[in-house]
């Protein structure tokens, strides 16, 4: 796979098809929601295909955005013990 950067757009070329794949950074909640919709539409893509590679990259971008904007806090240890006891 070849990659290049033009402005804020990553151009990826899949080795099998040589079809350019434009990938944009997720900078806003709207970008995040659009990317989630696109992921949903290609969720069944097979590995090692242009669609599968696109899915891989988009999921990585969403995970990175989510870590920053939707962090999961560790539970209070006492509350975790109580939850487990229930």
How does pLDDT run across 28-82, given as a tens digit for each residue? 999 999 999 999 999 999 998 989 999 999 999 999 999 999 998 888 999 999 9
Domain that holds residue 45: 2-85
Domains: count for the chain: 1
pLDDT of 52 reads 93
End-to-end CA distance of the chain: 50
**Which pLDDT band holds residue 13 (cuts at 50, 70, 90)?**
low
């Amino acid at each position: 796979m070849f990659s290049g950067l033009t402005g804020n757009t990553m151009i990826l070329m899949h080795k099998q098809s040589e079809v350019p794949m434009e990938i944009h950074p997720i900078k806003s909640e709207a970008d995040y929601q659009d990317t989630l919709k696109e992921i949903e539409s290609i969720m069944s893509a097979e590995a090692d295909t242009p669609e599968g590679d696109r899915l891989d990259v988009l999921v990585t971008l969403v995970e990175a955005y989510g870590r920053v904007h939707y962090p999961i806090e560790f539970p209070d240890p006492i509350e975790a013990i109580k939850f487990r006891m229930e």
